[in-house]
Amino acid sequence: MLFQNREGSIPASWAWKKIMRFAIITVAVIGFAALLWPSSPPRYNAMHAYSNVTISSNVECDLDVEMLHRLDVRKLVAYTRREMVLDFTADPLPIRQGIKQPLLDTKWKPSASEPEPGQSLDGCTVRTPMQVQVVQPPKMAVAPHIDFGVATSIGRLNDSLDQFAHWAGYTRTRIFALIEPDETKEGVAYVRAKAENLGINLLITESEDDYLHRYFALIPLLEEHTREQTQWACIIDDDTFFPSMSALVDALAKYDHTKPMYIGGLSEGTPQIAVFGIIAFGGAGVFLSRPLLSDLATVYDECEQMTYTGDRRIANCIYQYTTTRMTIDHRLHQLDLMKDASGFFESGRELPLSVHHWKSWFNADMPKLSVISELCGDTCLLRQWQFSDGYLLTNGFSVVKYGFPPESGDLSMEMTWEPHNGANQESYLHELGPLRRKDEMKESYLLQDAKVEGNGHVTQWYVKRDSILGDEVLELSWRKR
């Protein structure tokens, strides 16, 4: 109170004097500057402003301002376009391939005798397309033997359809959604229709239970709906994402579905395991073979009384009432990584079977990352090319240049995330090792958008952010050879 009174008690005439003095000085400064200003400022300093986007005059091509808005670019200092041509092969390829050509060096030419490729006339496009090899995509996955269960709300389910479409669309798998009652009723009808359009077999059940009870109630729901071909039931979170359904089907085929099996992933951080236990962490997907599902349905009422809820209740129910133990599949990922998970996605390791937390703990837009699979299948996702100018493309995720490049053949993962819950580097070794320190000098263009174009092209936009100097955009336009 006292403080406020003192502030408020400054006399009005004093404030006016201050404003007048400021105005006079400002006028004088502007006048002086106008006298000294060069009559024509150097061209490279000029910035064009289109609506509220500022474009540096270094950018010599015409750009769609709407597109820049979509990429959330306010100030643009460089724009490079390059055509990427996919060359399919039946032979196996390493996930990371070296290419003896630069990705971004526009002056480069294949040999002295050939004409200078330089930049094309529009000033942004690298004239020579870049040809890269990818493996022949696998056949469309068929998965009527796996049923998925998710406890969520109608709004979140609606938001999840695009990501479900990537892995569940047209695979004949079924997704059972247990949602809180939808008051409007129109929501359910809308979501059902949209799922059908995307080729997703979505079965929605409404329930009065709260979230954690609904989660456990997925067990009897899935058990009730088993059909002859059902081998596996999988409980997921609404942000569990499977990059490749065919990889998942192949991975499950290695386990014996006729025995009671409880398959999942642990947290990547040991402090999380210390809190929650040796359980299949829900975000990675909890896989139950049909015999185990039947066992659990017989002890459902007992387990409903158990203290803990959610994925922990499933684990405790299995451990207390059966002799089945967890089988860890290290490709199923809860992804308990805070803020920046780029080290995980840029590691050049085998494609993960599941990922999670990609729109909460960190940001990596999985549906957009997956757009490129429309052209070259799931085997194309996160595939890497190391170019001679130091740039490393991780397809769908990023284009980076390390300040401290790892030696070739180094499969360590850069620890880019923030340790969580008292973790240190050692806490992550059991799932993610070998690890190396975060590269503070890494230059990163991150995927911001991707689109299937009408002409058999997929376009990806990668953006390098700099809030002071301005952003640089790299547009890759992919087609088959």
Ligand X SMILES: *[C@@H]1O[C@H](CO)[C@@H](O)[C@H](O)[C@H]1NC(C)=O
> Which amino acid, one-letter code, is at 345?
F
Q: Which stretches of 300-358 are DSSP H helices?
A: 300-304, 310-321, 342-345
CA distance 177 to 326: 25
Residue 134 or 168: which CB sits closer to ligand X? 168
Q: Which helix (H) or strand (E) holds 157?
A: helix 154-168
Provide, rounded to whole angstroms, the least separation between the CB of residue 265 and ligand X: 30
Looking at the Cβ atoms of 155 and 181, the one nearer to ligand X is 155
**Near ligand X by CB under 6 A: residue from 102, 117, 187, 220:** 187
Question: Exactly one of 52, 305, 307, 467 binds ligand X (CB under 6 A); which one?
Answer: 52
Residue 367 binds ligand X, judged by CB under 6 A: no
Q: In angstroms, what is the minimal distance from the CB of 65 to ligand X?
A: 8
| d(C-alpha 302, C-alpha 257), whole Å | 25
Site for ligand X in 97-116 (CB under 6 A): none
Position 179: which residue type?
I
Helix count and strand count (H, E) for the chain: 15, 20
Q: Least separation, in Å, of the C-beta of 340 and ligand X?
A: 25
Integer-rounded Cα Rg, in Å, for the chain is 28
Q: Which residues pair with 300 in a beta bridge?
A: none
Report the nearest approach of ligand X to the CB of residue 454 (Å).
21
Closest CA to 82 of 119, 32, 42, 44: 119
Size of residue set near ligand X by CB under 6 A: 8
Binding residue for ligand X, selected from 108, 170, 190, 402, defined by CB under 6 A: 190
Rank residues 51 and 305 by Cβ distance to ligand X and give the closer one. Answer: 51
| Cβ-based nearer residue to ligand X, 32 or 50 | 50
Applying CB under 6 A, does 154 fall inside the site for ligand X? yes
Q: What is the nearest approach in angstroms of ligand X to the Cβ of residue 378?
A: 24
The answer to whether residue 71 forms part of the interface with ligand X (CB under 6 A) is no
Contacts of 412 (CB under 8 A, 6+ apart): 347, 406, 433, 434, 435, 436
Q: Output the furthest CA–CA distance in the chain (Å, rounded).
A: 89
Q: How far is the CB of 99 from ligand X (least distance, A)?
A: 38
Other beta carbons within 10 angstroms of residue 244's beta carbon come to 25
Name the one range near ligand X by CB under 6 A: 21-29, 109-117, 152-160, 221-229.
152-160
Using the minimum distance from each CB to ligand X, give the nearer residue, 40 or 52.
52
- Write out the two tokens for 419: 């340790």
Which segment (153-161, 257-265, 272-280, 429-437) binds ligand X by CB under 6 A? 153-161
The stretch near ligand X (CB under 6 A) out of 119-127, 151-159, 214-222, 238-246 is: 151-159
The interface mask with ligand X, positions 309-348, x = CB under 6 A, is: ----------------------------------------
Alpha-helical (H) ranges within 169-309 are 186-197, 211-224, 245-253, 270-276, 290-298, 300-304
SS3 320: helix
Query: Least CB distance from residue 139 to ligand X, whole Å?
Result: 30
Which residues lie across from 266 on neighbouring strands?
none
CA-nearest of 28, 52, 132, 128 to 481 is 132
CB-nearer residue toward ligand X: 188 or 372: 188
Give, as ranges, the residues between 265 and 284 that touch ligand X (CB under 6 A).
none
The DSSP bridge pattern shows strands 174-179 and 146-152 to be parallel
Contact of 27 with 35, CB cutoff 8 Å? no
Q: How far apart are CB 465 and ligand X at their closest, in Å? A: 15
Strand order in the sheet with 201-206: 201-206, 174-179, 146-152, 232-236, 286-289, 262-264, 326-328
**Does 51 interact with ligand X (rule: CB under 6 A)?**
yes
The residue among 53 and 315 lying less far from ligand X, judged by its C-beta, is 53
Binder of ligand X out of 118, 123, 155, 434 (CB under 6 A): 155
CA 27 to chain centre: 51
Q: Taking the complex as a whole, how short is the minimal distance between the CB of residue 162 and ligand X, in angstroms?
A: 8
The least distance separating ligand X from the CB of residue 52, rounded to whole angstroms, comes to 4
Q: Are 213 and 221 in contact (CB under 8 A)?
A: no
153 binds ligand X (CB under 6 A): no
- Closest to ligand X by CB, 101 or 158: 158
The residue number whose beta carbon is nearest to ligand X equals: 187
Does residue 158 bind ligand X (CB under 6 A)? Answer: yes
Give the nearest distance from C-beta 194 to ligand X in angstroms: 7
Q: What would the two tokens of residue 411 be?
A: 């499969």
Residue that is written with structure tokens 């995509």 in the block? 137
**Whole-number Å distance between alpha carbons of 379 and 243:** 9
The least distance separating ligand X from the CB of residue 313, rounded to whole angstroms, comes to 29
Site membership for ligand X, residue 58 (CB under 6 A):
no
Chain residues that interact with ligand X, rule: CB under 6 A: 51-52, 69, 154-155, 158, 187, 190
